Amino acid sequence: MRVKHKPWAKEKLAAHSAVVIQDPASCKGRWNEIFGNDQPIHVEIGSGKGQFVAGMAKQNPDINYIGIEVVESVLVIALDKVLAAEVPNVRLLAVDGASLQDYFEPSEISRIYLNFSDPWPKKRHAKRRLTNPRFLTLYQALLPKDGEIHFKTDNRGLFEYSLHALSEYGMVLHHVSLDLHKSDFEGNVMTEYEEKFSQQGYPIYRLEAVFR
């Protein structure tokens, strides 16, 4: 995601510490305390500019959402959207999604969203894809039995790879769509990328995968 560097981003993120958690490692095992309730917690890895996580939180006030975005100049845009949406059930983290085990205890979260992740199209980069088995092992260690991954992309190659990887890992697939916006799926919240690609006529691929 190409976004102009914002040298003031770190300061603004720190100024909103009620939303942007400054020391997420200290919250490990305490997230329901941080939110002040016992609602289920869903995590979006690579939340980008925040349209999805803010929209989902608005649509589902009975669920807590955590958006993870490592690029501070992008996360500060997500912060603005969360503040504008006035959703108390969102927290943002400026961390690497590959280190989830540093911030969450097993079964502390119940769902992970992977939206328009980098496809890493070259075979030698396959281990970097967020649906690669090494990431699935990480997710399984943190999610409860029957924990879910919800995945969307515009990249057919990544979608086909993910279908195979998730199936081979033993996950159960639901609501597999080769053209989300022409399906009967209800409650979809679009990301910025999703709006852009769908307006250009590209199909959006989506699936839900459940650990068993």
Which are the catalytic amino acids? 118
Distant-in-sequence contacts of 183-191, Cβ < 8 A, 24+ apart: 187/59, 189/51, 189/52, 189/55, 189/56, 189/59, 190/51, 190/52, 190/55, 191/48, 191/51, 191/52, 191/115, 191/116, 191/152
d(CA 28, CA 39): 16
The CA distance from 17 to 83, in Å, is 12
- Give every CB contact of residue 76 below 8 A, 6+ residues apart in sequence: 6, 9, 12, 13
Q: What is each CA distance from 54 to 73, 125, 170, in whole angstroms?
A: 17, 31, 31
Residue 68, token pair as written in the block: 């993870």
Count CB atoms within 10 A of the CB of residue 99. Answer: 13
